[in-house]
């Protein structure tokens, strides 16, 4: 039976009619048509579906949609400023060549954002630990870590 | 997509009531196991009863030891400094489970209820003498974790019962613990062997603290050699092994052989061999039996050394590059 829920999505109150069996990822992509969040494995192994819920990085493919009720969800679409300017992390990924095929990028950036929001100056080990659940099959990890470092270190390269 | 109804009770009583009244229902906490099982079509519950919105379910309380709520996640454990200092083995394990995304939602109770032989938090909770708190239609009860595990993926939970948390006894400053997870890769992997150790040590009956000599970057083996004359004695010890039996098990013979003895690296070597002889690992995709037994030996010795080190140089766990001049524990 369908139910109507309300949650905050990218700083905007959203009302959605959902089936209790849906995941947050399904609602984001198929109902709200926000295609930035990707489905990779669908089993919480690859991190392509990472979004931020109440400040914590979460695999949206395993997240029952009804748990989103009343919570604040941030997806990659929510990072860009109203002016259209990219978020510093997004710009850093462009600058450092951290985007190859692009499939893991949204998840990587969301994991990185959750980390930087929690810890302004993470060490390289902190960065590696926090993106350990995000697979990049182009294996461009060095550029990804470099990109996160430029933002985490207060903008220095 | 799979069809199920989703229930969000706010009290344990309500949750247990729902479980009693609904057909084909299953409890779900973080969902990192349950959702995977549903998606893989291994289970098909008609109702999921969420434990995520239970009031006061995610608290970690200090007092009479440690109380861990049923909704506490692995990330909650990692972030807790008191647990890191006094129940270090649990922090070691919680930080190594899955990925950050998994740890942010997956609960310790869920890890224990699944009772996989490889469950990372099981060995630390075993050596930390944890009791499991259970609520059900017939009321509440508490059982030692060692009795809670019945076999591979089997636990002592009756129909409609749910784990509401854990109680761990208090340990003094002369107690240290550690967990080592041996994996093929660093993230998103199950251990091929997991070893947890807790030791309580004494010198001549008095509690020991940090001395100048310990505030060094010297290896713990060298420090133990220097302390040979002081007769550090092992007052109590627990050793637990994961993935070497159908369920996480204690190495009781090894524990008995260490308890009450004056400690030395040579003795730890013997203890590790006894632990290895108690392990019954099997060949699997993650590693062959002979290799696992060999690693039980190596990791048991290492985990004992780390535990002892954490008693002798406690601040090293928090502060890397500990220096004697600023150490508040240095005695004249």
Contact A1/B at CB under 8 A:
yes
pLDDT at B189: 85
> B1 or A45: which carries more pLDDT confidence?
A45
The tens digit of pLDDT for each residue in A104-133 reads 999 999 999 999 999 999 999 999 999 999
Structure token pair of residue B16? 């247990």
pLDDT at B208: 53
In whole angstroms, give the CA distance from residue A71 to residue A53. 7
In chain A, residues 16-45 whose CB comes closer than 8 Å to chain B: 19-23, 26, 42-45
C-beta separation of B75 from B103 below 8 A: yes
Residues 6+ apart with CB under 8 A from B32: A44, A59, A62, B98, B102, B105, B106, B110
CATH of domain B1-55: 3.30.43.10
Tell me, what's the ipTM? 0.96
In whole angstroms, give the CA distance from residue A105 to residue A91. 12
C-beta separation of B247 from B149 below 8 A: yes
In whole angstroms, give the CA distance from residue B172 to residue B156. 30
Q: Which residue does chain A place closest to B44, by CA atoms?
A: A21
pTM above threshold 0.80: yes
Q: Which helix (H) or strand (E) holds B48?
A: strand B47-50
Structure token pair of residue A52? 């931020």
CA angle B202, B206, B209 (to 5 degrees): 75
In whole angstroms, give the CA distance from residue B69 to residue B307. 26
Would you list the DSSP string of A3-68? Answer: EEEEEEETTEEEEEEE-TT-BHHHIIIIIS--TTS--SSSSSSS-TTEEEETTEEEEGGGSBGGGG
Contacts of B39 in chain A (CB under 8 A): 42-43
Structure token pair of residue B138? 């017939």
Report residue A1's pLDDT band, with 50, 70 and 90 as the boundaries: confident
Contacts of B185 in chain A (CB under 8 A): none
- Where do the CATH 3.30.43.10 domains begin and end in chain B? 1-55
Q: Among all chains, which residue has been given the structure tokens 């000599």?
A: B213
Tell me the pLDDT of chain B (332 aa) as tens digits. Answer: 568 999 999 999 999 999 999 999 999 999 999 999 999 999 999 999 999 999 999 999 998 999 999 999 999 999 999 999 999 999 999 999 999 999 999 999 999 999 888 899 999 999 999 999 999 999 999 999 999 999 988 999 999 999 999 999 999 999 999 999 999 887 888 889 999 999 999 865 444 555 555 566 788 888 888 887 778 999 999 999 999 889 999 999 999 999 999 999 999 999 999 999 999 989 888 889 999 999 999 999 999 999 999 998 886 544 444 444 444 444 32
pLDDT at A36: 98
Residues 6+ apart with CB under 8 A from B29: B50, B51, B52, B70, B71, B106, B107, B109, B110
Question: Are B101 and A63 within 8 A, CB to CB?
Answer: no
In whole angstroms, give the CA distance from residue B176 to residue B87. 8
Q: Which residue does chain A place closest to B73, by CA atoms?
A: A56
CB-CB: which of A58, A59, A64 is closest to B6? A64
pLDDT at B136: 97
CB burial of residue B7 (10 Å; 0-12, 13-18, 19+): buried
Kindly report the three-state secondary structure assignment for every residue of B56-103.
CCCCEEECCCEEEECCCEHHHHHHCHHHHHHCHHHHHHHCCCCCHHHH
Structure token pair of residue B137? 């239609």
pLDDT at B218: 82
**What would be the CATH architecture of the domain defined by B175-317?**
2-Layer Sandwich (3.30)
pLDDT at B63: 87
Q: Which helix (H) or strand (E) holds B114?
A: helix B108-114
In whole angstroms, give the CA distance from residue B235 to residue B223. 19
3-state secondary structure of A118: helix
pLDDT at B323: 45
pLDDT at B149: 96
Structure token pair of residue B65? 């030891």
Domains assigned to chain A: 3-77 (3.10.20.30), 88-151 (1.10.150.120)
Q: Phi first, then psi: what are they for B285, rounded to 5°?
A: -60, -25
Q: Among all chains, which residue has been given the structure tokens 């434990």?
A: B51
In chain A, residues 101-120 whose CB comes closer than 8 Å to chain B: 111, 114-115
Question: Are B188 and A21 within 8 A, CB to CB?
Answer: no
Residue B144: CB atoms within 10 Å: 11
> B228 or A150: which carries more pLDDT confidence?
A150
Terminal-to-terminal C-alpha distance of chain A: 52
The tens digit of pLDDT for each residue in B310-332 reads 998 886 544 444 444 444 444 32
In whole angstroms, give the CA distance from residue B37 to residue B88. 31
In whole angstroms, give the CA distance from residue A105 to residue A50. 10
CB-CB: which of B32, B39, B100 is closest to A42? B39
CB-CB: which of A20, A64, A133 is closest to B99? A133
For chain B, which residues lie within 8 Å of any Cβ of chain A, measuring from their own Cβ? 1-6, 8, 28, 31-32, 35-36, 39-40, 48, 50, 52, 75, 98-102, 104-105, 186-188
Q: How far is CA B273 from CA A85, B161, B253, B304, in A?
A: 62, 39, 10, 13
In whole angstroms, give the CA distance from residue B168 to residue B84. 14
Q: Which residue does chain B place closest to A57, by CA atoms?
A: B101
The arithmetic mean of pLDDT across residues A10-39, rounded, is 97
pLDDT at B138: 95
pLDDT at B211: 52
- Where do the CATH 3.30.390.50 domains begin and end in chain B? 175-317
Residue A50: CB atoms within 10 Å: 32
């Amino acid at each position: 039976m369908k139910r109507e829920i309300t949650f905050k999505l990218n700083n905007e109150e959203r009302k959605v009619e959902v089936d209790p069996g849906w995941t947050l990822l399904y609602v984001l992509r198929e109902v709200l048509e926000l295609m930035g969040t990707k489905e990779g494995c669908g089993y919480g192994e690859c991190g392509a579906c990472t979004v931020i819920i109440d400040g914590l990085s979460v695999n949206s493919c395993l997240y029952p949609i009804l748990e989103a009720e009343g919570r604040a969800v941030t997806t990659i679409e929510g990072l860009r400023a109203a002016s259209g300017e990219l978020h510093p992390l997004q710009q850093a990924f462009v600058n450092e060549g951290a985007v190859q095929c692009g499939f893991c990028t949204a998840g990587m950036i969301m994991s990185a954002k959750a980390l930087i929001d929690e810890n302004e100056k993470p060490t390289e080990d902190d960065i590696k630990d926090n993106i350990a659940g995000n697979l990049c099959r182009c294996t461009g990890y060095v550029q990804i870590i470099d990109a996160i470092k430029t933002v985490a270190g207060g903008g220095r390269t | 997509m799979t069809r199920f109804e989703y229930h969000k009770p706010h009290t344990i009583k309500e949750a247990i009531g729902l479980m009693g009244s609904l057909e084909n229902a299953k409890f779900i906490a973080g969902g990192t196991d349950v959702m995977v099982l549903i998606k893989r079509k291994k289970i098909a519950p008609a109702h999921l009863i969420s434990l995520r919105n239970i009031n006061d379910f995610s608290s970690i309380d200090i007092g009479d030891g440690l109380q861990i709520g049923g909704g506490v996640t692995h990330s909650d454990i990692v972030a807790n400094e008191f647990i890191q200092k006094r129940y270090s083995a649990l922090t070691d394990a919680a930080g190594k489970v899955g990925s950050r995304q998994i740890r942010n939602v997956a609960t310790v109770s869920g890890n224990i209820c699944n009772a996989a032989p490889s469950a990372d938090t099981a060995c630390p909770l075993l050596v930390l003498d944890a009791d499991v708190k259970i609520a059900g239609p017939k009321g509440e009860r508490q059982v030692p974790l060692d009795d809670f595990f019945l076999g591979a993926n089997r636990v002592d939970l009756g129909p409609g019962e749910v784990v509401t948390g854990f109680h761990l006894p208090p340990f003094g400053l002369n107690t240290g613990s550690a967990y080592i997870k041996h994996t093929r890769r660093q993230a998103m992997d199950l251990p091929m062997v997991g070893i947890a150790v807790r030791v309580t040590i004494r010198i001549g009956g008095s509690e020991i603290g940090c001395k100048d000599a310990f505030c060094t970057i010297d290896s713990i083996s060298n420090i133990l050699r220097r302390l040979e004359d002081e007769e550090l004695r092992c007052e109590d010890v627990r050793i637990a092994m994961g993935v070497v039996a159908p369920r996480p098990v204690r190495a009781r013979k090894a524990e008995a052989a260490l308890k009450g003895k004056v400690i030395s690296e040579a003795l730890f070597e013997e203890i590790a061999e006894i632990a290895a002889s108690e392990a019954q690992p099997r060949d699997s995709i993650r590693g062959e039996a002979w290799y696992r037994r060999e690693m039980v030996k190596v990791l048991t010795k290492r985990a004992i050394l780390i535990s002892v080190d954490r008693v002798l140089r406690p601040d090293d766990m928090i502060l890397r590059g500990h220096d004697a001049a600023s150490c508040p524990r240095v005695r004249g």
